[in-house]
Structures are given as C-alpha cells and as structure tokens.
Structure 1
Amino acid sequence: MNRSKRFAVLAGVLLVSLCGAASAQQSIPTSGMWRGSLTSNTKIVVAVDAQFDATSVSLHFDEPYNCRIVANLLAKEGATTRFRFKPSTNGGDFCTRLYPGDLIATPGTKQVTLSIAMKNATTWTGDLSGPATSP
C-alpha cells in the first residue's frame, strides 16, 4: 500500500473513532453542577441540583423535600443514560420513595432533561441548565 493510501486509511480510522467517542460522551451529561426544577404529573414543582460525573449523578432536592440521593450509571440507551437510585443517605420520605427507581437523563446542547418514575406512579420531569451555560 502506498503512503497516500495508508494516510487515507489511518485518517478514516481516526475519524470514525473520534465520532464514536463524541457520541458516547454526549450520552452522559457534562460533568459538573446542573440546576433547574422538576415538575410532577400532579403539577408540583421542586428545585433540584444534579452533580454528574462519569459513573453517577448526585441529586439534591430543595424544600419541601430537602433530601439527597445518588444514582449510579446503569445503561446507555442511544442518546439517553439510565441511572439506578441507591438508598438515600439522609433519608426523607421523598428520596426514600425514589429507591430503587431509575433516573433517565437526556442531554441537549445547553440543558439536560431528567425523568423519574416513582413507586407510587408519580412521574417527575424537567430541564436543568449546566456547566456549558454557566458564566
């Protein structure tokens, strides 16, 4: 194989691997703090902070729930990432009802959409703004 063909093959392999890495990176929200609110199917709104890293997300729900819970990476499903809640570290009825449920995160360009289904059939969804939109 001549030099120009080897270069073309190498460039093609590199491009394919970079595209694969970029799409994998987009399935998990950027590491850092994301803030926003979630709304239940019964129209209750709660502020939430989400701290993402490569393998988990830590959520802090504001008043009236005022609890923290961590969810570990479970699976990547196309553009979404599924996390599974662990038992809450500081209790609280709200966070206790989340375990052992799932959190689904769908990243966008400047936000991440979270969806949670609780044991009592209540669903929570909302958009959070994150590090990419912070000043």
Structure 2
Amino acid sequence: MNILSTPFELINGGGSSAVSGALLLAVECLIVCLAFLTIRRLAIFAGAKKMRVTGHVKRKWVIPEHREWQGKAYVTVLAKNALEVNVENRSLQFCPVAWKYDRVNEGDEIDIVVQRGRFEGELRILDIGPF
C-alpha cells in the first residue's frame, strides 16, 4: 500500500483498504466543510464596522443552572441572565454581565453596539449600554 494514496485509490483497491479509503474521504470532507464554514464566518464579520443603535428590551429572563454533556462528561453550567432585544425589527438574544442586566427592565429602550454582516445583513450584538 502506498503511503501517499488518495481515498479513491483505496476504495478502488477493495477489501479493507476500501473501508479505510471511505473513512479517509469522510474525514477530508468534514475538514473541508469546517474550513469553509470558518472562512465564511470570518468573511461575514471581519472588518465590519461597529454601529450604535437603539433597541427595545422585549423580555428579561434567567437561564437556570443545568447539566449538559460537554466532551466526555456531564458538566454543571451556571445560571445565565439573558435579554431578548428588538433591534431593527429583529429579535436578538444577548447575555450581558450581571450589573448591566440589573439596570435594564422589560420595555426599556437601550443603546446597543451591533455589528452588521456584509452579505446577508446578519446582526450580532456586541454590547449593551451604558458604555
């Protein structure tokens, strides 16, 4: 077996090399897909300017402490404060630091720093006021 063989050569060889060729092909496709998604995310938000806009707090809630599977074990995820903010007729969720969460109430208008994506008009909240 050649060390520098392509997955298609291994699959055409048949037998156990076909299985290793199929696995190699699947891993290569996964790596290409992850690279594409990373480059796409960077292309959307890299170099995009930050804008200051006004948003309306629709809902304020706490995500309770819970356990979830991460890696090879269950871990306890601490409770998080979350806001649902209406920005330019879009509902976005944001988890601010505790002191900013305590200063806002449902129905308040607050200053928000957002970043607008280049291609699809996607919005991302970076921070909420006061700054």
TM-score normalised per structure 1: 0.28
Larger Rg: 2
TM-score normalised per structure 2: 0.29
- Which has the larger strand fraction? 1
- Which has the larger helix fraction? 2
